[in-house]
């Protein structure tokens, strides 16, 4: 599996996690909002992945923060409100990024080991 394939599979998994979290948190129109989730992989000059851009409806950010309908960000921090945060994004994203870091560390560790092995075996003084 290539680096691009790995990151594409990870990004698709993240979208699935977000969709499931929206449903489990009872976000209204969760299935419609889930359809707005998308990602784009931006490649570097060498073809490796430079970054992954995730896109979603802007209103979902307010749902995640628990603001809107008369509750501002400043007001949320200064007073108690009955408006609940529905953290479909915040709680899961950093966890998924950490998982990707582990996957990529294993990938590059394996690639590095193969490189060293091939270099060792191709050197006639080592045989």
Per-residue model confidence as pLDDT tens for the chain (127 residues): 777 888 899 999 999 999 998 998 888 888 888 889 999 988 877 777 778 899 998 888 888 877 777 666 666 666 676 677 788 888 788 888 888 888 888 877 776 777 777 777 777 776 5
- CB hemisphere CA count around 29 (13 angstroms): 8
- pLDDT for 82 equals 67
CB 16 within 8 A of CB 61: no
pLDDT score at 75 = 65
pLDDT at residue 16, as a whole number: 92
Give the whole-angstrom CA distance, residue 14 versus residue 98: 12
Give the closest residue to 2 by CA, choosing from 111, 76, 122.
111
CA distance 10 to 104: 11
Q: CA–CA separation, 9 vs 127, rounded Å? A: 40
Structure tokens at 75: 């007001």
From residue 20, how far is each of 27, 81, 87, 118 by CA, in Å?
A: 10, 26, 12, 44
Residue 103: what pLDDT?
83
**What is the pTM (predicted TM-score) of this model?**
0.71
């Amino acid at each position: 599996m290539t680096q691009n394939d790995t990151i594409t599979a990870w990004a698709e998994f993240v979208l699935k996690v977000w969709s499931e979290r929206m449903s489990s948190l009872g976000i209204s129109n969760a299935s419609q909002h889930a359809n707005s989730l998308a990602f784009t992989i931006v490649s570097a000059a060498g073809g490796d992945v430079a970054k992954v851009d995730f896109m979603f409806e802007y209103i979902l950010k307010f749902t995640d923060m628990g603001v809107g309908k008369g509750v501002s960000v400043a007001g949320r921090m200064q007073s108690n409100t009955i408006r609940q945060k529905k953290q479909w994004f915040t709680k899961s994203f950093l966890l998924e990024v950490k998982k990707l870091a582990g996957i990529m560390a294993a990938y590059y560790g394996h690639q590095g080991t193969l490189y060293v092995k091939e270099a060792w075996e191709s050197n006639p003084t080592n045989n």
